[in-house]
Amino acid sequence: MKDKSLVQIALYAALVAALGFIPPVPFAFGVPITAQTLGVMLAGVMLGPWRGALSMLLLVFVVSLGAPLLAGGRGGLGVLAGPTVGFFLGWPVAAFFAGLVAQKLQRLPLLAATAIGAFTGGILVLYICGIIGFKLVTGNNWANSTLTMAVFIPGDLIKVAITCLVAQAVYKGLPGAVATRQP
């Protein structure tokens, strides 16, 4: 891997961490939404599947080592023992699929391609990982696990929309920075 890719991978890992410092916004019914998954979707769309996944893998590694970089200052091994472990470990997978889908849809307009990519990675794939993790850790059945997690979906839909807008704006300013859309 080239040094430049390594720097970019580290950058997006840090970006997701920095987004975690934005205080969670209580959304409808008090469900807290954080900006972090926005960064996960961005990493996939901007870096492409492989580097996006590696960048999130790096973040997972740093957080597991003990850096409190998840929203609300969480970090360390407690995250791996907690009910959200599936989402946390699902970040690399989510970034991968967000990047892969956005890359496959290069013929579509950028906004549509990133929307479908971010939705597939950041919601479909991420919730599958999250619900599997929740079920394994808590021993709940599928229906209960899905029901518990469903309250977070509306907030994540908003983040899909923001991801598209950011990707489009960045593409206008720095076309080379969007790896899933190369001329």
Partner 1 sequence: MISLYLGQQSWLHRRPAGLKLLSLAAISIGLYFVSHPFWMLAALLAVLALYASVGRQALRQLRLLRPLLFLFAIMFLVQWWSVGLAAGLTLVLRMSTLVLLANLITLTTRMDAMMSAITPLLLPLRLVGTDPARIAFAVALVIRFIPVLLAQLHGLKEAWTVRGGGRQVWRLAIPMTIQAIRMSDHVAEALAARGGIQTSPGHATHSSRSHSSAKESHSEG
Length of the chain: 183
Q: Is position 111 an interface residue for partner 1 (rule: CB under 8 A)?
A: no
The CB-of-180 to partner 1 minimum distance in angstroms stands at 14
The residue from 142, 165, 175, 182 that contacts partner 1 (CB under 8 A) is 165
The CB-of-50 to partner 1 minimum distance in angstroms stands at 13
Window of 75-83, 98-106, 109-117, 119-127 that interacts with partner 1 by CB under 8 A: 75-83
Q: Is position 132 an interface residue for partner 1 (rule: CB under 8 A)?
A: no
3-state SS string over 145-180? HHHHHHCCHHHHHHHHHHHHHHHHHHHHHCHHHCCC
The CB-of-104 to partner 1 minimum distance in angstroms stands at 23
Q: Is position 128 an interface residue for partner 1 (rule: CB under 8 A)?
A: no
Instruction: Report which of 123, 84, 86 is spatially closest to residue 101, judged by C-alpha positions.
Output: 123
Rule CB under 8 A: which residues touch partner 1? 1-4, 6-11, 13-15, 17-19, 21-22, 24, 30-32, 35, 38, 42, 46, 58-59, 61-62, 65-84, 137-141, 143-144, 147-148, 151, 162, 165-166, 169-170, 173-174, 177
